[in-house]
Amino acid sequence: MSRFADLFMGMLGAAPKKPEVVSERVQTIMFRKYEDKDRYIKEKMHARDHHLVSHKWRNRRWAVLLAVNLLFVFSFWLDIQILEGALTASRFVGFHLIDLNSALQVMLAHKHIIVNLFIGTFTVFLIWVLLGGRTFCSWVCPYHLLAEWAEALHLKLVEKKLVTDHEFHRGTRTVFWLLFALLAIVTGYTVFETLSPTGILSRALIYGPGLALGWVGLLLVFEIVYSRRAWCRYVCPIGLTYGAVGSLSPLRVSFHVEHCFHEGDCRKVCLVPHVLDVTVKGRASEESMSLGPDCTRCGLCVDVCPTGALRYEVKGLSQLL
């Protein structure tokens, strides 16, 4: 299978695999790292000592996430009419924008597409094809921010041995995607939207809180005490939809094996650590590789990597960012 297919299957839930062929260049790099161990360890210690803990990308991302959601809120509250509607469907200075997964649910349930729905869906499709991966998840989705904080709390509790993380199979999300699509077709209702914390939170911010926030609270409690980032990792079909759409995007996080010490700090902070499987020693087949479509481009790994082995890149325009 091609690397793309492997990564795509990884997004659907397949376990990451060891590469069958490793390029000569990577072999040389790995060999050199092994041969010159002393220098390698020295470099590693040096990089560690000089690594400034950075929250550059996290802060930028939080700022964007808050700005987008606040723009929704203020467009209604202050009647500035820039971004009207909610995350499921909106109008940006008049242009229709429709969330791909919500549009899909409506199309499957209603079995009818009007022009505005099509236009809005296409606009958003283009945006995420360009931005790629699950950029929506970490840069826009309001639930992501709450879940990120819940995750931090969960990790603290795990550290204190007060709770343990219960992992589910990552393929569960694919099953959910299919089930919710099937439910929409069979029942004629947009069943997923009833539970989607993304829609619920977006509406609560814009139109005021309601009982539905109780459900979001329960989800967060579940993630804090039982399973790390459960909704985003194992359930939410929105992420899978965007992952599939953004799989061919030119914007991505890339991994450079030469700079990597394989210590795995990146995998510890990552919401979708299977995309960072290439950073495990012996898993990289090329000198420079981009992460899979499940990557949310959140930049936590970019921030945490002490050696700059992980970077944002636009394919064909490396070092733009």
Partner 1 sequence: MNAPVEKPKKPAMSLEKAAKARRKFLQSVGLTGGVVGLSLLGYIPVLGASAHRLRPPGALNEADFLSSCIKCGQCVQVCPVEAIKLGDMIDGFGVGVPHIDPRQQACDFSCDAVQCILACPTGSLTYKKPPFLNIREGALLAAAPILKAKENDPEPTLNLKERIGVARLARPSACLAVQGKGFKGQARGAGFPGKMRYMDVDRWKPIPIAEHPYDLPLCDLCVRECPVKGAIELRPFKSADGTSRMQPVVLEPCVGCGVCEMVCPAEPAAIVVDAQATWHGEVALAPAPAVTPKEPS
Q: Dihedral of CA 91/97/98/99: which sign?
A: negative
Single residue of 230, 238, 284, 300 touching partner 1 by CB under 8 A: 230
Both tokens assigned to 262: 């394989």
Our finding on whether 4 is near partner 1 (CB under 8 A) is: no
As measured in angstroms, the least distance from the Cβ of 230 to partner 1 is 8
Give the integer Cα–Cα distance in Å for 240 and 136. Answer: 11
Query: Distance from first CA to last CA of the chain, Å, rounded?
Result: 31
Specify whether the CB–CB gap between 170 and 233 falls below 8 A.
yes
Our finding on whether 188 is near partner 1 (CB under 8 A) is: yes
Give the integer Cα–Cα distance in Å for 150 and 153. Answer: 5
Our finding on whether 207 is near partner 1 (CB under 8 A) is: yes
Our finding on whether 214 is near partner 1 (CB under 8 A) is: yes
The region of 21-29, 210-218, 256-264, 296-304 touching partner 1 under the rule CB under 8 A is 210-218
Our finding on whether 203 is near partner 1 (CB under 8 A) is: yes
String of DSSP letters for 49-62:
HHPPP--HHHHHHH
Tell which residue, 233, 265, 236, 220, has the closest CA to residue 167.
Answer: 233
As measured in angstroms, the least distance from the Cβ of 309 to partner 1 is 31
Spatial CB neighbours of 236, under 8 Å, sequence gap ≥ 6: 173, 176, 196, 198
Our finding on whether 117 is near partner 1 (CB under 8 A) is: yes
Our finding on whether 76 is near partner 1 (CB under 8 A) is: yes
Give the integer Cα–Cα distance in Å for 272 and 71. Answer: 28
The region of 54-62, 194-202, 259-267, 269-277 touching partner 1 under the rule CB under 8 A is 194-202
Our finding on whether 200 is near partner 1 (CB under 8 A) is: yes
The region of 109-117, 248-256, 268-276, 286-294 touching partner 1 under the rule CB under 8 A is 109-117
Single residue of 7, 11, 29, 98 touching partner 1 by CB under 8 A: 98
Give the integer Cα–Cα distance in Å for 22 and 298. Answer: 28
CA max distance for the chain: 66
Nearer to partner 1 by Cβ, of 127 and 179: the residue is 179
Nearer to partner 1 by Cβ, of 62 and 76: the residue is 76
CA 296 to chain centre: 2
Our finding on whether 145 is near partner 1 (CB under 8 A) is: no
- In one-letter notation, the amino acid at residue 250 is P
Nearer to partner 1 by Cβ, of 84 and 294: the residue is 84
Query: Would you tell me which residues interact with partner 1 (CB under 8 A)?
Result: 75-76, 84-86, 88-91, 96, 98-99, 102-103, 106, 109-110, 112, 114, 116-117, 120, 166-169, 171-172, 175-176, 179-180, 183, 187-195, 199-200, 203, 206-207, 210-212, 214-215, 230, 234-235
